[in-house]
Amino acid sequence: MDGVTVAKIPLLLVEKIVASAERQLPLKSNKVVADLDDILFCLNNLMKKKNAKVPDDDLLRYRLTKEVWRGFWDRLKVFKPEELEKYRRLLREVGLLR
């Protein structure tokens, strides 16, 4: 098979949120920053598409437990506190936050 198979943006977004929340700190802090950058890229990519939303898919939302969200917000507060509201707004706009 030629080329690379890439996950769809909503799946990549969810998996990056999970990855950023579960990384061991401080050993993986550079990877957390990369994950947060990837999350922002995914959010911006979805926003470029008119009315793009993350599908209301139980398989995607199943991954986003309270513990994952807690870890994600904790890491965002440490590594990108100045962008907290931007992430929150974009996550609402794509339908991941209510």
With helix as H, strand as E and coil as C, how does 4-72 read? CCCCCHHHHHHHHHHHHHHCCCCCCHHHHHHHHHHHHHHHHHHHHCCCCCCCCCHHHHHHCCHHHHHHH
pLDDT band at 1 (very low <50, low <70, confident <90, very high): very low
Spatial distance between the Cα atoms of 40 and 60, rounded to a whole number of angstroms: 18
- Which pTM was predicted? 0.85
The pLDDT, as a whole number, for residue 77 is: 95
The pLDDT, as a whole number, for residue 67 is: 95
pLDDT cut 70: percent of the chain above it: 91
- For the ranges 23-27, 29-33, 51-55, 85-89, the one whose mean pLDDT is highest: 85-89
The pLDDT, as a whole number, for residue 2 is: 52
